[in-house]
Amino acid sequence: MTPVRQIIHVDMDAFYASVEQADCPELQGKAVIVGGDPQTRGVVSAASYEVRKFGVHSAMPTAQALRLCPHAVLLPVRMARYAEISHVIHAIFESYTPLVEPLSLDEAFLDVTDSTNLFGPAEEIGKQIKNRIREQTSLTASVGIAPNKFLAKLASDLRKPDGFVVITEQNRQEILDPLSVGRIWGVGKVTEETLRSHHIETIGQLRRQTAEQLRSIVGSAAADELLRLAQGLDNRPVEPDQQCKRLSSEQTFATDVRDGEILLSVLMEQVEEVAQRLRRRGLQARTITLKLRYGDFRTVTRSETLVEGTNVTNALWQVAERVFRQWQSRSAGPLRLIGFAASGLEDEHARQQLLFRDDQQEKLKKLDHVVDQIRDRYGRRALHRGTTHPPESSES
């Protein structure tokens, strides 16, 4: 008999903001915003729980966030510091299982099905991971444990911050049914409002709909997916980096975002994060992919393959912006989620070197190196990369 999968989802609590509070104890208990300059259409990258009660959330324009909470402390993004802490956290994950699927610097799935003989039940592993993260980083993580990825991710979000929830085959509908349909992974406000207008407010009410009834409300593709998730069904495997061969970063918004400049700002940050991760691992990518999820649950991807692999931020950004603007000109709409992925990964030294060097690319590589060093020392705000004109002249 095949054992029931044991999946753990770990999600750090307000990661960027929590790192800043841990590094600067006087910020403990204070409203902290990590984000871009309000004078340059900067957006919120992270909000501490103390500032969220004022309505501040990620991807909100920083200027708007400061109007909602004028006494908040605004800090620049220090990506190198967050990557350093992330490395410690992911090392903890990998000490329990090689089946780790990173979703971002602060979030990952772990398949511990084959690890229970060595470390004990999944619940015990989850508790050990939480304790070790707190001991080694002074940060809290929310942990969800379940038979699949959808339920594990939902579980980790139920009791944030510092949550710990276990969903089993036996209790899954007991936990799912009372929850709002908005708790279903990928359901945005548009879909939620559409369902509520048909008196479908909870996952239990959704689950009791027939496929035909639901298709008439949200369409065929969304209906089948919603019914499957309402029953807590999800067959996706955990895909470690070495198997899925991609590095990615995603942002799910608290409310659907239509403003193209805000979306580009978020995308720029994702490109920078992924590019830096590529460089740290000595990798370069051949293909970039944008993941775009609309408010009505539809998800599309747009990809482009480069002639040669690269880990240069400028090169990846030029392609990402071009792909985004092509989507925007044809199919723009309010987004629930935006993500950037780099795939077709290869060792940056594996390919045969060109006989003649590309001087421009060499300059951009040196620029990335300098930018990484400066941001490591002074924080992300020390340099600002524009989103509409990405070449090196946009740094200031």
Active site residues: 107
Dist. CA 85–CA 24, nearest whole Å: 15
Count the Cβ atoms, other than its own, within 10 Å of residue 357. 9
Report the DSSP beta bridge partners of residue 299: 293
Spatial contact of 32 and 51, defined as CB atoms under 8 Å apart: yes
Q: Where are the alpha helices (DSSP H) in the chain?
A: 15-23, 49-52, 62-68, 79-94, 116-119, 122-137, 149-158, 172-176, 189-197, 203-207, 211-218, 220-230, 241-244, 260-281, 313-331, 359-378
Cis geometry, peptide bond prior to residue 161 (ω within 30 degrees of 0): yes
Using left for φ > 0, alpha for ψ between -120 and 50, and beta otherwise, residue 43 falls in beta
Count the Cβ atoms, other than its own, within 10 Å of residue 171. 11
Tell me the backbone φ, ψ of residue 138, rounded to 5 degrees.
65, 20
Spatial contact of 112 and 127, defined as CB atoms under 8 Å apart: no
β-pairing verdict for 100-104 and 283-294? unpaired
DSSP-based three-state secondary structure for 108: strand
Written as one string, the DSSP assignment of 115-156 is GHHHH--HHHHHHHHHHHHHHHHS--EEEEEESSHHHHHHHH
